[in-house]
Amino acid sequence: MKFVTFHSPTSKGFYRVGILTNENEILDLTPATSKADLTATEVLAAIDLDSYFFDTAKALGDDPDWEHRFDQREITLASPVPRPGKIICIGLNYRDHAVESGMELPSSPVIFSKFSSCAIGPGAPIVIPPGSSKCDYEAELAFIIGRTTRNASRENALGYVFGYVNFNDVSARDFQFADGQWQRGKSCETFAPMGECITTADEIADPQDLSIKLRLNGDTMQDSNTCQMIFGVAELIEFLSRHVTLEPGDVVATGTPPGVGFARKPPVYLKDGDVVEVEIEDLGVLSNPVVNHV
């Protein structure tokens, strides 16, 4: 299913969860939670594969008589995970991107994080922060953890995944390269767009065989396939869960292919008025405008 989190005309800052159908209709699953609206924390419970909700959602998705529905034009999509417990990112995970960055291929995953407050959904603006003139795009496949994970093996790792989502690892390169570490340059407000939906894991036969593209104002800037990753999804879960307990709703962004802005000659950076689209096979399209800080 295509899991979405959204604001209805009456939700007033709270969230609802549902399924995006092929007819651009939202099946509203929120009534199945016995709540009128959800907090960001309560959305995490809907992503927990060990709760009752996932099986209920699948059943309702097949029920033509379920009356709680919205036309997609009536609602506003939010980040599918509005406030993740963790946003874990993997650096230099495509061979060609490591080369274009002038970096050696990593022998083990390069881990950094973004603050959870930077998560935004489709259509929400990416804001160029004050003091930065070198904001960059990075198309990435992200996976959403669906059950508490500790010491997973590579063989069973994919069983802990709720689903997959388009992710844009927006980066202020001037901050990133000036600081000697990546946290500030990667964690400015709005620097973690994701969406439009989470495609649940049962619909993705192989996360290591998905086309991945990024378009800037309609021009294709990145065009690759997840088969080019150095460390695949199962290997990343095995590695991360040795050291960190992964929890439902945690987001892991798996790295970007070549074609990022700072490595181009001349460099290409995001500017006010741009539109950035990330499109990964079977995951829909994530589109965000770019605006200057006011």
Neighbours of 184 (CB within 10 A): 15
Residue 26 contacts residue 17 (beta carbons within 8 Å): no
Q: Report pTM.
A: 0.95
Residues of the chain with CATH 3.90.850.10: 87-292
Cα–chain-centroid distance for residue 124?
A: 14
Q: How far apart are CA 196 and CA 167, in angstroms?
A: 9
Write out pLDDT tens, residues 265-280.
Answer: 999 999 999 999 999 9
* Tokens 């209920």, located at residue: 56
User: In this structure, what are the phi and psi dihedrals at residue 292, rounded to the nearest 5 degrees?
Assistant: -80, 150
Neighbours of 132 (CB within 10 A): 20
Residue 224 three-state SS: strand
Given a cut of 50, the residues of the chain with pLDDT beneath it are: none
What kind and span of H or E run contains 111?
Answer: strand 110-114
What pLDDT is attached to residue 106? 86
What pLDDT is attached to residue 230? 95
What pLDDT is attached to residue 221? 98
Nearest to 255 by CA among 224, 284, 277: 224
What sign results for the dihedral spanned by CA atoms 165, 205, 202, 8? positive
Write out pLDDT tens, residues 90-125.
Answer: 998 998 777 777 778 889 999 999 999 999 999 999
Residue 179 three-state SS: helix
What pLDDT is attached to residue 10? 84
Neighbours of 237 (CB within 10 A): 24
Nearest to 132 by CA among 80, 187, 82, 71: 187
Task: Judge: domain 87-292, CATH 3.90.850.10.
Answer: yes
Phi-psi region of 269 (alpha: psi -120 to 50; beta: other; left: phi over 0): beta
